[in-house]
Homo-oligomer: A and B are copies of this chain.
Amino acid sequence: MPKCVLLLSGGLDSATVLAVARDLGFDVYALSVLYGQRHQVEVDAAVRVAAALGATEHRFVSVNLDTLGGSALTDSGLDVPKDRDESAMQDIPITYVPARNTVMLSLALGYAEVVGATDIFVGVNAVDYSGYPDCRPEYIAAFEHLAQLATKAGVEGKRMRIHAPLIALTKVQIIERGLSLGVDYGMTHSCYDPLPNGRACGRCDSCILRKNAFAELGMDDPVLV
């Protein structure tokens, strides 16, 4: 089976992408990038998801983006917004981590070179996060072009591919796709600001997007039950 590298946060989106990559017949080398997040609970979720959905290997890279500043997700001095309406989430929010997808895809590219993979899967999504420049199809195409020129495999003529299978899906469609592939979303973790007991807050943008999508499907988000 061909190898792929997959960026795995342990959240709803990347868990779905892992199931999609397995369904396409890839051996999945999962990479979790710890970029100054405030919570061990994300690491635990990534480990659970990788094991449950059949990743071949799972590695971690830490990068302290907090030294660059500029985001509530890496700077403990900034507050994560709560209880916002979805319509207020369209601008680039304070939880935006500068160049996050570029840094994570770069690390995935390094891992791909080491294991000999030419396919990289990532759970970026242009529908729910239209305010992020690095979640658009033209951004993914530009990174794919870069990967072709940046690597020995690419220069030798192998086709480097960046797969973003969720990019045009709504959160509802993502959940439907994952459920059809048997993903147990109760083991994922998407919250930006978990409670002291590690549970999802239910009030940050990420929790609200999930909760509303499960509600549209007539379900409760299993991490909030």
User: Chain B contacts of A59 at CB under 8 A?
Assistant: 67-68
Please tell me if A84 contacts chain B, counting CB pairs below 8 Å.
Answer: no
**Given that A62-B64, A63-B62, A70-B114 are contacting pairs, would A99 and B146 also be in contact in the complex, using a CB cutoff of 8 Å?**
no
A158 CB to nearest chain B CB (Å): 12
Q: Would B102 and A109 count as touching, CB distance under 8 A?
A: yes
Looking at A41-49, A136-144, A197-205, the stretch in contact with chain B turns out to be: A136-144
- A7 vs chain B, min Cβ distance (A): 13
Identify which of residues 105-133 in chain A touch chain B, using a CB-to-CB cut-off of 8 Å.
Answer: 105-107, 109-111, 113-114, 133
Residues of chain B contacted by A133 (CB below 8 angstroms): 149-152, 154-155
- Nearest CB of B to A8, in Å: 14
Known contacts A61-B63, A152-B92, A154-B133; A110/B114 CB under 8 A: no
CA distance A63 to B99 in the complex (A): 15
Give the complex CA separation of A67 and B97 in angstroms.
23
Tell me if A159 is interfacial: C-beta within 8 Å of chain B: no
Which B residues touch A16, using CB under 8 A? none
Given A103-B106, A142-B142; 6 other pairs, CB 8 A cutoff = A61-B64, A98-B113, A133-B149, A133-B150, A142-B146, A145-B146
Interface of A with B (CB < 8 Å)? Answer: 59-65, 67-70, 92, 97-103, 105-107, 109-111, 113-114, 133-134, 136, 138-139, 142-143, 145-146, 148-152, 154-155
